[in-house]
Structure formats: C-alpha cells, structure tokens
Amino acid sequence: MNSPDFQHQKRRVETKTEPTPKAMPMGTFRINFILNQAQRWFDGLPPLGKLFIVLLGTFVVLSILNTVLRILSALVVVGVIAIAVYAGYQFFKTAEAEQSPPPDSGQS
C-alpha cells in the first residue's frame, strides 16, 4: 500500500498545504546579519577590549549629542536675534511714520 508513487503524491500534497513562510525584507535581513556579526565579534573580545569599546562608544555618542545640542542652541540664538532685529525695524518704522508730516493732498 505504501508504494513509492503514493509516498511521492503524499509529499506533494503536504508541500502544497503547508503554509509558506513569509520572507523578511532584504534590508531587515542585512541589518540583523550585521548586528549578529558585531555581537559575535564583541563577545569574542577579552574583558579589557570590551571595556575599551564601551568607553569609545560612549565617547562617540556623547560627542554627537554635544554637536547636535550646539547646533540647536545656535539656531535658537539666530532666531532670537532675528526676532529682535525685526522688532527694532518695526519700532523705527512706526516711529518714523509718526514723526513725518502727512503728505500734501495738493489743495492750497
């Protein structure tokens, strides 16, 4: 009863009815692959090497954070200066308009 033809047909039916696994996006696969490689490399380091890498990573992250905060503070300063210049311009513009006599309508 278990002929080779029967077993072959049974395998074909089983493969058709099994759900196909969804493929991961290629970008996610690459990121996971790189992260796994980095994890294996880090795990292979001696304890002193791990400490050095952690300190180096902390230094890099803090340097990047420092740079971002300096850029943000510079943008805030430029914005405050721009508002002050605009307010001064408006103040002098209205003060000048109040001091100047009204234009002549041409009637004498």
Mean pLDDT along residues 93-97: 85
- pLDDT for residue 21 is more than 60: no
- pLDDT for residue 35 is more than 60: yes
Q: What is the dihedral of CA 72, 78, 84, 89, to 10 degrees?
A: -150
Q: What is the dihedral of CA 77, 78, 80, 82, to 10 degrees?
A: 160
What span, in angstroms and rounded, lies between the C-alpha atoms of 31 and 54? 21
Predicted local distance difference test score (pLDDT) of residue 75: 98
* Percent residues over pLDDT 70 in the chain: 75
Nearest-CA neighbor of 32 among 40, 43, 22? 40
> Do the Cβ atoms of 42 and 50 come closer than 8 Å?
yes
